[in-house]
Amino acid sequence: MAEEKQPIGGLHFVGRKEELMAAKRSCRTLAGRDVLIISHQGGFYAIDSYCYHAGGDLQSGDIEEIGGKLCIICPNHKFKISLVGGEGLYKASAPREEPRPPHAPQWFSKGVKQRVHVVTETAGGDVYVRLSEEARWRESDFYQGEKGEEERAKAAAAEEEKKKKKKEKKGKM
């Protein structure tokens, strides 16, 4: 990546369109923030790289349309995150709402949990990301920066421990 293309007026050059499309998922550290740039069906999306739930790396998450929203599914515990708004989605039954049949599950929003960023491209095929300037705390902020790296390591260690205990428990059965 050419050095002279780095931050221009709040925009961060992240690559050439064809390069990002071929890669499908590209990670960039922009002003100290780890951002995942996703190319999907002709569109670009940029979100914080680590899941708001426990810092899972979203890079290998599947992408699916869920409840009418394009989402990335965290590989760790399968949380669904909308790519456009950063909402966390969950499925639940709303038996009292008619005329749906009782207990028909549907998707609901937990609100915005993951910080999302704006992607723009020039006519010449350069792609830029403008980092979110929204002042409100988003849960994915917790896993960013140096402190976030420590928190991700702690979460990964806790996950390993959980898996180990589960395996031991199974071995005793």
Question: 58 vs 119, which CB is nearer to ligand FES?
Answer: 58
Integer angstrom CA distances of residue 59 from 74, 131, 132, 167? 9, 18, 19, 27
Binding mask 43-72 for ligand FES (x = CB under 6 A): --------x-xxxx----------------
- State yes or no: residue 36 binds ligand FES (CB under 6 A): no
Scored b (16 or more CB within 10 A) or e, 46-81 reads bbbbbbbbbbbbbbebebeebeebbbbbbebeebbb
Distance CA 159, CA 123 (A): 45
CA trace torsion 139, 25, 118, 85 (10° rounding):
-50
- Shortest spacing between CB 118 and ligand FES, in angstroms: 23
The nearer residue to ligand FES, 70 or 76, going by C-beta atoms, is 76
Q: Considering the complex, what minimum distance in angstroms separates the CB of residue 57 from ligand FES? A: 9
Look-up of token digits 């409840």: 67
Q: Does 77 bind ligand FES (CB under 6 A)?
A: yes
CA dihedral 76, 79, 82, 88 (to 10 degrees): -130
Give the residue, chosen from 30, 36, 37, 74, that forms a contact with ligand FES under the rule CB under 6 A.
74
In whole angstroms, the minimum distance from the beta carbon of 110 to ligand FES comes to 12
CB of 59 to ligand FES, least distance (A): 12
Point out which residues bind ligand FES (CB under 6 A).
Answer: 51, 53-56, 74, 76-77, 79
